[in-house]
Structure 1
Amino acid sequence: MSAIVLFMAVIAVIVGWWLSQQRLTAKPWLEEGAPGDFPDADAMTWPAAKIGLGVFLAVAGSLFALFISAYSMRMNMVDWRTLPVPGLLWFNTGVLVVSSIALQWAYLAARTDDMENVIIGLCAGGASAITFLVGQLVAWQQLRAAGYVVASNPANSFFYLITAAHGLHLIGGLVALGRTTAKVWRGAEMAQVRLSVELCTIYWHFMLLVWLALLGLLTGWTDNFVEICRRLLT
């Protein structure tokens, strides 16, 4: 239960910060003057794709929050036998961090119309994400070879379920990333792909945040962190 509270709190902070940048408290009907006198007025007009991504991320975040909640409750039962976390997951985590950094690089390059660095960032981000997925499959193979199959233990089932759900979401992101990369590679105008690069970057940062939360849950680090915070507050 502590893990899900921590996860939802982090999501709430990020969403709150993002919304605070969108001038939601502005009252345009009270402002006087020509529209051109208010340079921030365009920030209130959200592209439909960005709104759609926000809704999707809220749904996906709720799904993973439910997974975390179910995992936290199920692990307290007597038939639960902790699954050893493959060391490869730490390497995979580093690769996903690199992927997120590469997408951020592409986004910053898109803002300055630097097409060359946009292509580099998108390709590096996609290649790193694919490496992460391959690494996850190798980790599965290692666990199965050691006898940790899906049906032998509830902890095993949760591990495969949670990592598979995250992997499927990342594959979906790779489809969008591939389409964006193809547009840039064909020489599309930067104005036509800038939003797509931004949406891919937001999605990648979200998937990295979710993975870090899941990794903390699987390794027990999340509960230890919450316990330390509780002791400091008391």
Structure 2
Amino acid sequence: MSAILGFIAVLTLIVGWWLSRQGLGVKPWLQVDHAGGVTQSGASPHAPAQVGLGVFLAVVASLFALLITGYVLRSEGTDWQTMPLPWIVWPNTLALLGTGLALEWALAAANRGAIGTARTGVLVASGGAVLFLAGQFVAWRMLAASGNFVNSGPADSFFYLMTAAHGLHVIGGMFALARTFERFRRDERPERIRLSIELATTYWLFMLFVWALLLAVLSGSAGEFLALCGQLLSQGGLS
């Protein structure tokens, strides 16, 4: 249980660090312009969207932390039988990784003002997201074909529940990508397009992190991962 609490603490630190980078600690009454005058506001004009995403990620992190805690506690039961993971989850991971990398590429292009390249990066990311969801559906079909249904056992039930919860959040991320495409279509200001890509990139990288953790838990190697989280926390406390 201490390892689970360590994981929750790591997620909290990640979200808190990201929020701290959004200019939330800026005191506008202390900001001055180049001429020496006081500015109207030192906070980012996009802070509400960034804060909203940070709060949402904190809620999502709490949800998956509860699911992982339930999985670990239930796995201690005498009727627990480990379920082998379908091989396709590993190509699915590559698809999700490709989505995150494509968005990083798109964000870098948007920072340079290369809107056309940014649009291509978002398009590639959307393709990776579709491949991931299709691969998850195939994984469920493979499990059903081998006799592992949602009610076959506690391990099977948790696999379907946890991957379905993650898949629903991936679908939500696809709506965010669709909104970014709408900004491209309406030829909105570059800074608004950049903000949309930045938020999508943060969200998808978070989803990649959660997916990696779920795989670690479902494959039985979560102990090493959570131990690493504990070491990082210990080092952070000593520094």
TM-score normalised by structure 1 residue count: 0.88
Matches within 5 A, 1:154-233: 154-226=154-226
Task: Assess if the C-alpha contact under 8 Å between 2:71 and 2:158 holds in 1.
Answer: yes
Give the number of equivalent residue pairs: 229
1:207 maps to a residue whose letter is M
Counterpart for residue 37 of structure 2: 34
After superposition, give the CA deviation of every residue in 1:11-46 in whole Å (9 maximum; x if it has no partner). 13322322443455555545664136x9x9344x55
Alignment of 1:1-234 (within 5 A): 1-30=1-30, 33-35=36-38, 41-43=42-44, 46-226=46-226
* Corresponding letter in the other structure for 2:187: G
Higher helix share: 1
Report the 3-state secondary structure (helix = DSSP H, G, I; strand = E; otherwise coil) of the residue aligned with 2:85: coil
CA contact (8 A) 2:107 2:118 kept: yes
How far apart, in 2, do the equivalents of 1:92 and 1:138 lie? 10
Superposition RMSD in Å? 2.5
Indicate how the Cα distance of structure 1 residues 52 and 227 shifts in structure 2: closer, same or farther if over 3 A, else same: closer
Alpha-carbon shift at residue 109 of structure 1 (Å): 1.1
Does the 8 Å contact 2:19/2:51 carry over to 1? no
Amino acid at match of 1:4: I
Cα shift at 1:80: 0.9
CA 21–51 in structure 1, closer or farther in 2 if over 3 Å, else same: closer
Q: Distance in 2 between matches of 1:66 and 1:74?
A: 12
Q: Could you tell me how far 1:225 is from its partner in structure 2? A: 3.9
The aligned amino acid for 1:127 is G
The alpha-carbon deviation at position 226 of structure 1 amounts to 4.2
Unaligned 5+ residue runs, structure 1? none
Task: From the superposition, tell whether residues 27 and 185 of structure 1 become closer, same or farther in structure 2 (CA, over 3 Å).
Answer: closer
Contact 1:143 1:149 in 2 (8 A): yes
Q: What is the aligned-residue identity percentage? A: 47
Aligned residue number for residue 237 of structure 2: none
- Whether the aligned pair in 1 keeps the contact of 2:19 and 2:54 (CA below 8 Å) is no
Distance across 2 between alignment mates of 1:227 and 1:115: 42
Q: Secondary structure at the match of 1:78?
A: coil
**Amino acid in structure 1 at the alignment position of 2:128:** S
